């Protein structure tokens, strides 16, 4: 009896070791590129051309790579601010527009309601890559060519199908009794929406925000096409200049530093708000 | 709780919703944005595709001239062929990695949520950032792979991974799998977790082996989820641009020009805006056709018991 239990225990232990061996190996594969790039970005310029074997700085931590990165375009602060302004602006506008629309679709009846909702969702079928040229021309007509605000409006539009869908579902989940009670207390329309309902749909707002932020922060092609002057470039577009290098020589330290500046905010936002991100993903998957 | 729910009539029967035009006011901003930045551009693209449209100067109506040109444009057909090739290979590669991963992280065990999170991390960074990171890792002198392989004695000299089509293609596939597999894994995971545990248990008691359970129980029940993951992978891959633009600039001998890359070159490098628009409509038609086919696939999945 005892031996059989021992055998079973040993087998369980062996299974566990095998499982976590595979797990740790896999985790290493997915994490290593980040770690290597991040560590390598702190190597002094004398080391930045070396292969990352090992990736960490050998002669003390240095910010050379970030200093060199700062020498491209209008300085890394300017471009980080551009990216931040566009991303945060996209978040604010997406939340405002999709909360209003979600509320409208959830609580009101009006002509062509279903057709309009389907129309918004159907834009998902059409890739924005195929309408970049007219977007470029329309923005120019509106006086918004080469403008961060114009880019922001495009990003907000791209977020709308997902965001309106999320917010409508969020409002659908709020019991109507709450609204009726608030209405009896004299709250109306926008005041009712902002004071009473908004706090109840906050999880939905968080989901919509995190997707809007990450997509706007990471977007490359539209920014490449729609921004034409150096000082307006967002980080991914700036990095094209770094990637091209100067006089045929690429400074890989600056590339690593640039990747770190672009990647770290995404990872932090995701790790902090993981729950809401996954909720959005599941909602999309189940739909 | 349940009792009171039954006692009071469901609120939607009360018809307290306001009707009329006020609702339109709430959705007006969203509709305005979708109208100006989506529907108008789509119509505009169709209009432009019927013109010879230079950057400067007057557009000239040429009817279906641009579309006729597409059919005989060898470079576009090459781009189309390359995109199809890439889509098929990368989708197979993503599934081959993501499915075992989904099974691996399915059961709740210690550390599993940490594994899930780490595998998912590359998904939240941009494709542009990922491409930049990997173009460095794949660099012949300053990167990781070539010097590492040389040091391990696998290759006699440092090979330039990005200079040869096959190795460059392989590098991009590995990068994309690293970047996307976590996403597909989570989608597949939702499908796996939706399978009732009693079902698997019953099959086990009936003597079905692990492979049989997977083949005759898990796979059929995962049909819908797999169709969804397939849709997302296929449409995403057809629109690939960043990785080719950043990592190989179109690749050795321009053999890595994807469809979106080709449209980008026509519209914003050569400034053949009309022709670019016609190409966009062609791309759009392909994607809509694929979407319809995929929706049909989902429906077929539904009909199965």
Q: Please count the helices (runs of H) and the strands (runs of E) in chain B.
A: 16, 2
Q: What is the 3-state secondary structure (H, E, C) of A239-287?
A: HHHHHHCECCECCHHHHHHHHHHHHHHHHHHHHHCHHHHHHHHHHHHHC
- For residue A37, the chain B residue with the least C-alpha distance is B133
A123 neighbourhood in chain B, CB within 8 Å: 34, 38-39
Supply the pLDDT for residue A279: 86
- Interchain pair A97, B30: CB under 8 A: yes
Q: What is the pLDDT of residue B23?
A: 87
| Identity of the residue in A34, A243, A286 whose CB atom sits nearest the CB atom of B132 | A243
> Which is more confidently placed, B9 or B301?
B301
Chain A partners within 8 Å of B188 (Cβ): none
Give the C-alpha separation, A85 to A232, whole Å. 11
Helix (H/G/I), strand (E/B), else coil: B300: helix
Length of chain B in residues, anyone?
305
Which one, of A177, A181, A164, A119, lies nearest residue B26 by Cα?
A164
A185 phi/psi in degrees, rounded to 5: -75, 0
Which chain A residues are Cβ-neighbours of B118 within 8 angstroms? 27, 30-31
Among the partner-chain residues A131, A269, A286, the one whose CB lies closest to the CB of B41 is: A131
Interchain CB distance below 8 Å, A214 and B124? yes
Mean pLDDT taken over chain B? 87
**Pick from A36, A220, A277: CB nearest B126:** A220
Residue B1 has pLDDT above 60, yes or no: no
- Which position has the higher pLDDT, A56 or B7? A56
Q: How far is B262 from chain A (nearest CA, A)?
A: 11
Q: Which tens digits make up the pLDDT trace of B31-83? A: 999 999 999 999 999 999 999 988 888 888 998 999 999 999 999 999 999 99
pLDDT tens digits for range A148-173: 999 999 999 999 999 999 999 999 99
Shortest CA gap B12–chain A (Å): 9
* pLDDT above 90 for B6: no
- Picking from B128, B125, B86, B94, the residue whose alpha carbon sits closest to that of residue B259 is B86
How many other C-beta atoms lie within 10 A of the C-beta of residue B230? 18
* CB atoms A267 and B187 under 8 Å: no
Enumerate the β-bridge partners of residue A249.
Answer: A246
Measured between beta carbons, the chain B residues lying within 8 angstroms of A116 are 27, 31
Tell me how crowded residue A272 is: count the other CB atoms within 10 A of its CB. 11
Contact A23 B104 (CB under 8 A): yes
How many Cβ pairs closer than 8 A exist between chain A and B?
260
Would you state the pLDDT for residue B7? 42
Of B119, B121, B136, the CB nearest to A255: B136
Considering only the beta carbons, identify the residue of B40, B128, B190 that sits closest to A138. B40
**What pTM was estimated for this model as a whole?**
0.89
Domains, chain A, ordered by start: 2-66 (no CATH), 73-286 (1.10.3720.10)
> Residue B13: its pLDDT value, please?
43
| pLDDT at B16 (0 to 100) | 47
Query: Among A34, A110, A119, which would you mutate to test the B interface (most chain B Cβ atoms within 10 Å of its Cβ)?
Result: A110
Tokens 């917010």, residue located:
A167
Cβ contact, residue pair B24, A104, below 8 Å: yes
Between B227 and A263, the higher pLDDT residue? A263
Domain ranges of chain B: 40-72+272-305, 76-248
The band of B302, judged by pLDDT with boundaries at 50, 70 and 90, is low
Q: Which of B256, B258, B47, B30 is nearest to A133 (CA)?
A: B47
B236/A contact by beta carbon, under 8 A: no
Rounded Cα distance between B143 and A75, Å, is 26
Interface residue of A153, A235, A259 to substitute, partner B, most B CBs within 10 Å: A259
CA of B167 to nearest chain A CA: how many angstroms apart? 19
User: What would the two tokens of residue A269 be?
Assistant: 């936002």
Predicted local confidence at residue A285, as pLDDT: 65
B274 touches chain A (CB under 8 A): no
The reply to whether residue B263 touches residue A129, judged by beta carbons under 8 angstroms, is yes
Residue of A nearest to B139 (CA): A51
Whether B305 shows a pLDDT value over 60: the answer reads: no
What pLDDT score was predicted for residue B201?
A: 86
Q: What percent of chain B has pLDDT over 90?
A: 54
For chain A, list residues with pLDDT below 70.
1-2, 285-287
pLDDT tens for residues B14-34? 444 455 778 899 999 999 999
pLDDT of A101 reads 95
Residue B60 sits at φ, ψ, to 5 deg, of -120, 135
Which residues, 6+ apart, have CB-to-CB distance to B153 below 8 Å? none
Q: Give the CATH superfamily of B76-248.
A: MetI-like (1.10.3720.10)
Q: Which of A110, A218, A274 sits opposite B129 (nearest CB)?
A: A218
Residue A58: other Cβ atoms inside 10 A: 10
The H or E element spanning position B79 is helix B74-104
Instruction: Name residues 9-38 of chain B within 8 A of A (Cβ).
Output: 11, 16-27, 29-31, 33-34, 36-38
Phi, psi values for residue B23, rounded to 5°: -55, -35
So what's the pLDDT on residue B12? 46
């Amino acid at each position: 009896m005892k031996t059989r239990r021992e055998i079973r225990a040993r087998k369980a232990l062996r299974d566990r070791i095998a499982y976590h061996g595979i797990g740790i190996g896999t985790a290493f594969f997915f994490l290593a590129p980040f770690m290597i790039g991040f560590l390598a970005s702190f190597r002094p310029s004398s080391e930045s051309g070396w292969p990352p074997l090992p990736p960490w700085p050998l002669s003390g931590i240095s910010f050379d790579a970030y200093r060199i990165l700062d020498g491209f375009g209008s300085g890394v602060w300017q471009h980080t601010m551009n990216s931040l302004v566009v991303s945060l602006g996209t978040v604010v506008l997406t939340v405002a527009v999709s909360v209003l629309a979600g509320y409208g679709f959830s609580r009101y009846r009006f002509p062509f309601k279903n057709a309009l909702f389907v129309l918004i969702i159907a834009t998902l079928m059409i890739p924005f890559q195929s309408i970049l040229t007219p977007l470029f021309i329309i923005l120019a007509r509106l006086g918004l060519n080469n403008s961060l605000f114009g880019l922001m409006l495009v990003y907000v539009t791209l977020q709308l199908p997902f965001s309106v869908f999320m917010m409508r579902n969020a409002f659908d989940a709020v019991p109507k009794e709450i609204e009726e009670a608030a209405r009896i207390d004299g709250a109306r329309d926008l005041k009712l929406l902002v004071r009473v309902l908004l706090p109840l749909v906050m999880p939905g707002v968080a989901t919509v925000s995190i997707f809007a932020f990450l997509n706007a922060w990471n977007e490359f092609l539209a920014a490449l096409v729609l921004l034409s002057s150096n000082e307006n470039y967002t980080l991914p577009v700036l990095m094209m200049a770094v990637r091209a290098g100067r006089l045929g020589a690429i400074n890989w330290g600056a590339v690593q530093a640039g990747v770190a500046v672009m990647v770290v905010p995404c990872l932090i936002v995701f790790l902090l708000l993981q729950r809401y991100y996954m909720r959005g993903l599941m909602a999309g998957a189940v739909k | 709780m349940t009792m009171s729910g039954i006692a009071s009539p469901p609120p939607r029967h009360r018809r307290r919703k306001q009707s009329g035009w006020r609702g339109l006011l709430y959705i007006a901003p969203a509709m305005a944005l979708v109208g100006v930045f989506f529907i108008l551009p789509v119509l505009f693209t169709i209009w432009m595709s019927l013109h010879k449209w230079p950057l400067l100067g007057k557009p000239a109506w040429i009817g279906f001239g641009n579309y006729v040109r597409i059919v005989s444009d060898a470079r576009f057909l090459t781009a189309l062929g390359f995109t199809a090739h890439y889509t098929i290979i990368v989708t197979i590669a993503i599934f081959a990695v993501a499915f075992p991963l989904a099974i691996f992280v399915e059961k709740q065990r210690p550390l599993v949520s940490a594994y899930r999170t780490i595998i998912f991390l590359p998904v939240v960074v941009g494709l542009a950032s990922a491409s930049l990171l990997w173009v460095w890792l794949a660099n012949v002198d300053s990167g990781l792979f070539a010097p590492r392989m040389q040091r391990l004695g696998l290759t006699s000299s440092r090979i330039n991974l990005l200079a040869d089509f096959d190795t460059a293609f392989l590098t991009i596939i590995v990068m994309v799998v690293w970047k996307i597999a976590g996403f597909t894994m989570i989608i597949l995971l939702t499908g796996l977790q939706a399978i009732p545990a009693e079902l698997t248990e019953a099959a086990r008691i009936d003597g079905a082996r692990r492979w049989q359970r997977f083949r005759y129980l898990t796979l059929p029940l995962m049909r819908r989820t797999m169709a969804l993951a397939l849709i997302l992978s296929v449409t995403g891959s057809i629109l690939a641009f960043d990785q080719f633009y950043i990592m190989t600039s179109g690749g050795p001998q321009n053999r890595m020009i994807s469809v979106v890359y080709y449209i980008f070159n026509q519209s914003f490098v050569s400034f053949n805006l009309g022709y670019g628009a016609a190409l966009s409509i062609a791309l759009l038609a392909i994607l809509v056709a694929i979407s319809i086919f995929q929706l049909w696939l989902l429906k077929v999945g539904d009909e199965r018991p």
